[in-house]
């Protein structure tokens, strides 16, 4: 190899890891997404802020009142509903006690998976698009375990598929099958020349559509690499976060952050997508510390700008790398997802 690598062990051997994930790292199958059904305990989708939805469901409102979820027992006070008197506690203590309940609010979970051309890249374990699908599957299975309805959007710069929120396993499988089908068609399209402007416009349009689909109180996950993020897209996301809880999962690859090391100077050409016209071709020198540092600093600056925009839009950010198994990253600790 023209760049230095760490010695491979069975633990970090890519093929061993791919076998464990039931994946080849490039294509997407329903089996590798179904395996995350047993991993749903890795995350926690409990509400992080007050919800404004008025539907009934499994998320507890801060106000106390009549509902399905018991909260506590306290001494009876003037104005309490006599139907809520806890006669057993009253008989045992000799003082009148009443039950309090927390009203339940349902929070549909909407997952927006970006399968644009820029997502079909990976320098090590997985394509970013495959890792994005793994994240979406984990969120969907966990939402199902909480009794939530799951829906959302799967999109690229050419088309998008909308899935209305459904309950139970039907909702999860409906979304996962859409992921697999869209990934296959997107993979074919990714071999075409990349039109940056078309991709950015499509990303804006899908954020606008997600804004229309997200009802107040929803939990919205946007899974993307942020490559096509524009100010207009950020405006739509900011509107979503005013009425919903918005979580943006940013998928990255190590080669996008740091050039590989090389013992000798080597000139290499890199392109985005198929780039048949060669307009996006870049020439890089590996083994040059100055160039490597400039490359890294530029990547850090772009990441910082993107994160700042998304944070100002009210999004909670989670970072995932395509070069490492999702379970490994979660066990190590990612934001406030870990229980």
Q: Give the model's pLDDT for residue 195.
A: 81
Per-residue pLDDT at 10? 52
pLDDT at 269: 77
> How far is the C-alpha of 133 from the C-alpha of 22, rounded, in Å?
13
- For position 280, what pLDDT does the model report? 57
Q: Is 167 exposed, middle or buried (0-12, 13-18, 19+ CB in 10 A)?
A: middle
The DSSP code sequence of 129-171 is HHHHHHHHHHHHHHHHHTT--EEEEEE-SS-EEEEEEE-HHHH
Q: What's the confidence (pLDDT) of residue 105?
A: 55
The beta strands (E) that lie in 157-218 are given as 160-166
Q: Given this model, what pLDDT does residue 102 score?
A: 59
Residue 26 φ/ψ, nearest 5 degrees: -115, -50
Q: Are strands 69-75 and 160-166 parallel, antiparallel or unpaired?
A: unpaired
Q: How many CA atoms lie within 13 A of 123 on its CB side?
A: 14
* pLDDT number for residue 55: 44
pLDDT means over runs of 10, the chain (339 residues): 42 85 95 94 69 44 47 84 90 90 70 96 94 97 91 94 90 96 89 83 96 94 97 98 96 93 83 51 81 93 96 96 94 56
Instruction: Note the pTM of the prediction, 2 decimals.
Output: 0.79
Q: pLDDT value at position 275?
A: 46
For residue 104, what pLDDT is reported?
52
Token pair of 321, please?
A: 């790398």
Contact between 252 and 322 under an 8 Å Cβ cutoff? The reply is: yes
């Amino acid at each position: 190899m023209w760049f230095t690598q760490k010695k491979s062990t069975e633990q970090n051997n890519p093929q061993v890891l791919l076998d464990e994930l039931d994946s080849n790292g490039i294509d997407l199958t329903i089996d590798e997404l179904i395996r995350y059904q047993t991993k749903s305990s890795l995350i926690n989708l409990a509400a992080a802020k007050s919800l404004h939805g008025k539907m009934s469901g499994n998320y507890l409102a801060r106000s106390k009142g009549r509902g399905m979820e018991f909260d506590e027992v306290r001494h009876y006070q003037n104005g309490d509903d006599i139907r809520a008197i806890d006669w057993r506690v009253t008989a045992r203590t000799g003082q009148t006690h009443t039950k309090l309940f927390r009203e339940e609010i349902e929070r549909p979970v909407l997952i927006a998976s970006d399968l644009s051309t820029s997502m079909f890249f990976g320098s090590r374990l997985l394509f970013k698009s495959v890792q994005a699908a793994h994240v979406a599957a984990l969120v969907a299975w966990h939402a199902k375990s909480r009794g939530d309805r799951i829906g959302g959007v799967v999109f690229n710069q050419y088309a998008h598929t909308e899935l209305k929120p459904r309950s139970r396993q039907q909702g999860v499988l409906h979304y996962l099958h859409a992921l697999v089908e869209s990934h296959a068609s997107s993979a074919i399209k990714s071999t075409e020349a990349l039109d940056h402007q078309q991709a950015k416009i499509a990303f804006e349009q899908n954020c606008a559509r997600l804004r229309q689909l997200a009802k107040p109180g929803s939990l919205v996950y946007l899974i993307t690499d942020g490559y096509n993020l524009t100010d207009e897209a950020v405006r739509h996301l900011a509107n979503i976060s005013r009425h919903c809880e918005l979580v943006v999962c940013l998928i990255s690859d190590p080669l996008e952050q740091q050039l590989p090391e090389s013992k000798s100077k080597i000139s290499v050409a890199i392109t985005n997508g198929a780039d048949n016209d060669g307009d996006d071709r870049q020439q890089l020198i590996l083994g040059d510390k100055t160039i490597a540092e400039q490359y890294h600093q530029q990547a850090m600056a772009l990441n910082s700008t993107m994160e700042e925009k998304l944070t100002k839009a009210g999004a909670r950010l989670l970072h995932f790398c395509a070069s490492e198994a999702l379970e490994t990253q979660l066990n190590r600790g990612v934001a406030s997802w870990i229980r």
